Amino acid sequence: MPKKMVLMGLFTDVMPTAEALDGLRLLGVREEDMNIMTGVPHSAKMLGRPKLAEFPWISVLGALTGLLIGLALTFGTQWLYPIRVGGRPFTAIPTSLVIIYECTMLGLLVSTFLSFLWKCAFPSTRPQYYDPSINNGRIALLCNFDMRLEPQIRQVMAQHGAERVFEPQRRPL
C-alpha cells in the first residue's frame, strides 16, 4: 500500500484554485481526496466541484417525531385521563392542531440543528489541518495523495499561483 501524505496550498483567488483542482484531477487525485477551506462560502459551481446532494431526511424524521409528540400530548393525554363532558367532543381536532403544529415545527428545527452538528462532526476538539489565513481572504486547497506524487502536486499548485505550498500539521483549533 503506497504511503499517503497531505499538502496544503494557499491561493488568493477562486479561479487559480479551480484550475489547480483541475490540474490535480489530471494527476489522478480523487475528488474525495481534495478539499477547499475558505473564510467565505464558495459554491461548488464556482470551484468546478461536484455538489453534495442529500435529502434532509433527519429533518423530516425530526418533524415526524415532533408530530407524534404533538399527537401524544393532545389526544394521548385525553385518553390517559378521560373527562367526558356532554355536548363537547372528547378529542377536539381544531384545538389540537395548534399543539401538533408547534411540536412538528420544534421537531423540525431541533433535528435540523442536530443533523448539521452530526454531519459536520461537531463539536470537534481533535487537532485538525487548518490555516487561520483563510480568514484573511486566502483559499486553502487540501490534498491527500500518494506520496510518490509529491513533486508533481507541488508543481501543479505552484504553477497555478499558490502563494505557499506546505505540509500542514494537525493542530488544535
Partner 1 sequence: MLADLPKAHKLVWPHEDDPKERLLLDPIPQDEMNSRMLKPMLKASPGYWLTVAILATVVAVCLFGYWFYMVRWGMGIAGIRRPVGWGMFIATFVFWIGISHSGTFVSAILRVFNVEYRRPITRASELMTTFSLACAGLFPFIHLGRAWTVYFMIPMPNQRQLWTNFQSPLAWDLIAITTYLIGSTLYVYLPMIPDLAMTRDRMTGWRRTIYKFLSLGWRGLEYEWHYLHVAIKIFAFAIIPVMFSVHTIVSWDFAMSTQVGWHSSIFGPYFVTGAIFSGVSAVISVLLVVRKTMGLGYFLRQEHFDALAKLVLVFSLAWTYFFFNDYLVEWYGGEWVGHQLLTLQARGPVAPLWYAMLFFNIAVPVLTLWNKRVRRSPIALFLITIGINIGMYLERYIIIPGFLQRNRLPFDWGAYNPQPVELSIAIGTLAFFSLLYLLASKVVPLIPVWEVLEGQLSHTRRRIGKTVVTSVAELE
Please choose, out of 22-30, 94-102, 148-156, 160-168, the segment that lies near partner 1 by the rule CB under 8 A: 94-102
DSSP string across 34-78? EEEE-SS---HHHHT-PPP----HHHHHHHHHHHHHHHIIIIIHH
Residue 28 sits in the site that holds partner 1 (CB under 8 A): no
CA distance 167 to 9: 9
Smallest gap from residue 148 Cβ to partner 1 (A)? 26
Q: Return the residue of 13, 15, 57, 113 that touches partner 1, per CB under 8 A.
A: 113
For β-strands 139-146 and 34-37, DSSP reports them as antiparallel
Closest CA to 8 of 170, 164, 145, 149: 164
Which of residues 67 and 73 has its CB atom nearest to partner 1 in the complex? 73
Q: Return the residue of 11, 20, 29, 59 that touches partner 1, per CB under 8 A.
A: 59
Q: Return the residue of 47, 143, 156, 157 that touches partner 1, per CB under 8 A.
A: 47
Residue 39 sits in the site that holds partner 1 (CB under 8 A): yes
Q: Return the residue of 5, 68, 99, 158 that touches partner 1, per CB under 8 A.
A: 99
Contacts of 154-158 spanning 24+ positions with Cβ under 8 A: 154/7, 156/20, 156/23, 156/24, 156/27, 157/7, 157/9, 157/20, 157/23, 157/24, 158/9
Q: Return the residue of 2, 81, 86, 87 that touches partner 1, per CB under 8 A.
A: 81
CA distance 37 to 17: 11
Question: Which residues are at the interface with partner 1 (CB under 8 A)?
Answer: 35-47, 49, 51-52, 54, 56, 59, 73-74, 77-78, 80-81, 92, 95-96, 98-99, 101-103, 105-106, 108-110, 112-113, 115-117, 119-126, 128-130, 132, 134-137, 173
